[in-house]
Amino acid sequence: MTTLTEHQRVAIIMTLLAISIFLTYYFHAILMLGTVFSHFFYIPIILTALWWEKRSVPVAIFLGGLVVVSSLLYQPELLTLNDYGRALMFVVIAFVVASLSEQLKGREQEVKRQRDLMQRYLDVAGVLFAVIGTDHTIRLVNRHGCELLGYREEELLGKDWFDTLVPGALREARRRAFDEAIARKAALPGQREHPVVTRSGNELILAWQDTVLTGDDDRPTGIIGSGADITDRIRAEEGLRKAHDEANLYLDIMTHDINNANAVALGYADLLETTLGAGKEREMIRRLKAGVDRSIEIIQNVTTIRRLHSRETATKPVDLDAVARAEIAHHPGARIAYQGRSVGVMADDLLSEVFANLIGNSVKFGDPGVEIAIRVEESDDQVEVSIEDTGPGVPDAVKPTLFARFAPGKNSRSGKGLGLYITRTLIERYGGRVWVDDRVPGRPECGAAFRFTLPRSGRRQKPPAPPATSTACPLVTARP
């Protein structure tokens, strides 16, 4: 709707007043009628009141005076109370319409102020805001949205959202989803990816969320949505995913080839060991095998760390006794005492790595005759496992950092500390904790006691029936 300028309004009122004067003259002087066609006078009075409020009162007084004066000049004997009443009515109408106009303009200004305030809020937001009507047309879009899409505001308002901004392959599906949301008066919850096409033809991916707008009658009037540009993030994530997959491929190839090389090296070392007698050569073979074993351990640690970072934290009930027995069986030459106790804990398939690292640690750093004891203690909500050995122990100065990544070990034969770091990472992921004590309190030289806790599973497992020749709590011992 075209808005009249101030000059145009003044010209209209002056024209209407001139017509009023002419009609008064024409009816009294030419037609010699006692009645003036005064209903026409309400038009300039009402228009003046709508446009300039109280300024309509002087116009009403002028027109009322025009009626009275004209009657006095041309036919004074016909002047009646009705003429004075009509003049007074002009003034009353001017006051009433002016008052209503002031109230209406006040409300319009308040609505405009609130709308401008909302528009400023939307304009300073760092995301796209848009209101889409039930007819799919764009009713509102903020400044950032225009900049993001490459359009001016007037180029978007009134345009079909889907035809203008949604990629062709997704257009009909998005249109149906929009109509379904309007029909059920509820949009899909949460954020979702929402591709849009800019004016230049580039496709952007928005993190989109929206809600249905309703009017006073609770009928849907459209949808207001907001979208943050996540195109760069999505592309970066895709690049990282490809790089991660490529790195894993290289690691898989490397692990496979190194394990094959280690197996061949160990095979030839075993053959050499059987053909060589005691002496310097045999000691060299032993060191060669120790180096290959170290390589195997490194590969195993790398594989475990990959498995740690490639899965979400999701624990499940695990039979602690079965895991402990399986790892004891991997050390047939070690002196390991284990008081068997079947108990369920919350962990996952990597729990075996904890026992492998701690038992292997005791075997590696202990003397040939080192003795290892595994104990399990239960409480209402957790299980405590202790792996004690009669090895050289852990100095007090080393204990606080023993489980840190790449922390120095407890003696000159210590590795890079990855095994204990993996152990701590796993235990903490399960919701427990791990620490090291002296096997004999206050005497580190008498051996170490590695302890860790695990959440107990809700259902206690029934212990397996022992063999006929076993006691109720069999003692599992591996001897050379």
The helix-helix angle for 418-430 and 351-365 (nearest 10°) equals 150
Look at residue 462 in the predicted model and tell me its pLDDT: 45
Is the pLDDT confidence value at 203 over 50?
yes
Look at residue 320 in the predicted model and tell me its pLDDT: 92
CA distance 240 to 250: 15
Question: Which whole number is the average pLDDT over 324-349?
Answer: 88
Are 127 and 228 in contact by the 8 Å Cβ rule? The answer is yes
- Which residues does 282 contact at the CB level (< 8 Å), separation at least 6? 273, 276
Of 71-75, 128-132, 233-237, 366-370, the least confident? 71-75
Look at residue 404 in the predicted model and tell me its pLDDT: 81
Instruction: Tokens 């003429």: give the residue.
Output: 83
Counting residues of the chain whose pLDDT is more than 90, the rounded percentage is 26
What are the extents of the domains in the chain?
Answer: 6-119, 125-229, 235-309, 316-478
The more confidently predicted of residues 346 and 76 is: 346
Single out the residue of 148, 149, 173 nearest to residue 159, CA to CA. Answer: 149
> Between 3.30.450.20, 3.40.50.2020, 3.30.1330.10, 3.20.20.140, what CATH number should domain 125-229 receive?
3.30.450.20
Question: Which whole number is the average pLDDT over 362-390?
Answer: 89
pLDDT band at 468 (very low <50, low <70, confident <90, very high): very low
Of 38-52, 102-116, 152-166, 399-413, the least confident? 399-413
Look at residue 406 in the predicted model and tell me its pLDDT: 58
The helix-helix angle for 81-124 and 56-74 (nearest 10°) equals 160
Of 26-30, 264-268, 276-280, 398-402, the least confident? 276-280
Look at residue 168 in the predicted model and tell me its pLDDT: 92
Tokens of 175: 């249109």
Residue 196 has φ and ψ, to the nearest 5°, of -135, 160
pLDDT tens sequence across 45-103: 888 888 888 888 888 888 888 877 877 777 655 556 666 777 888 888 888 888 888 88
Question: Which whole number is the average pLDDT over 300-314?
Answer: 67
Q: What angle do CA 432, 435, 441 make, to 5 degrees?
A: 135
Bridge partner list, 336: 372, 478
Look at residue 451 in the predicted model and tell me its pLDDT: 95
Is the pLDDT confidence value at 355 over 80?
yes
Question: Which whole number is the average pLDDT over 381-401?
Answer: 90
Look at residue 100 in the predicted model and tell me its pLDDT: 87
Are 156 and 138 in contact by the 8 Å Cβ rule? The answer is yes
Of 34-43, 85-94, 100-109, 124-133, the least confident? 34-43
Instruction: Tokens 């000159």: give the residue.
Output: 412
Interior/surface letters 275-299, b for 16+ CB within 10 angstroms, e for the rest: eeeeeeeeeebeebbeebeebbbeb
Look at residue 330 in the predicted model and tell me its pLDDT: 85
For β-strands 344-347 and 371-378, DSSP reports them as unpaired
Does pTM surpass 0.95? no
Bridge partner list, 284: none
Q: Is 250 exposed, middle or buried (0-12, 13-18, 19+ CB in 10 A)?
A: exposed
Question: Which whole number is the average pLDDT over 204-228?
Answer: 89
Question: Which whole number is the average pLDDT over 435-455?
Answer: 92
Look at residue 467 in the predicted model and tell me its pLDDT: 40
Residue 356 backbone class (left: φ over 0; alpha: ψ -120 to 50; beta: rest): alpha
Is the pLDDT confidence value at 477 over 50?
no
Query: In one letter, which amino acid is 440?
Result: V
Class of domain 316-478: alpha beta
Look at residue 199 in the predicted model and tell me its pLDDT: 93
pLDDT tens sequence across 233-251: 888 888 888 887 777 777 7
Query: In one letter, which amino acid is 343?
Result: V
Is the pLDDT confidence value at 478 over 90?
no
Of 14-28, 128-142, 292-306, the least confident? 292-306
The mean predicted confidence, pLDDT, of the chain is 81
Strand, coil or helix: 27? helix
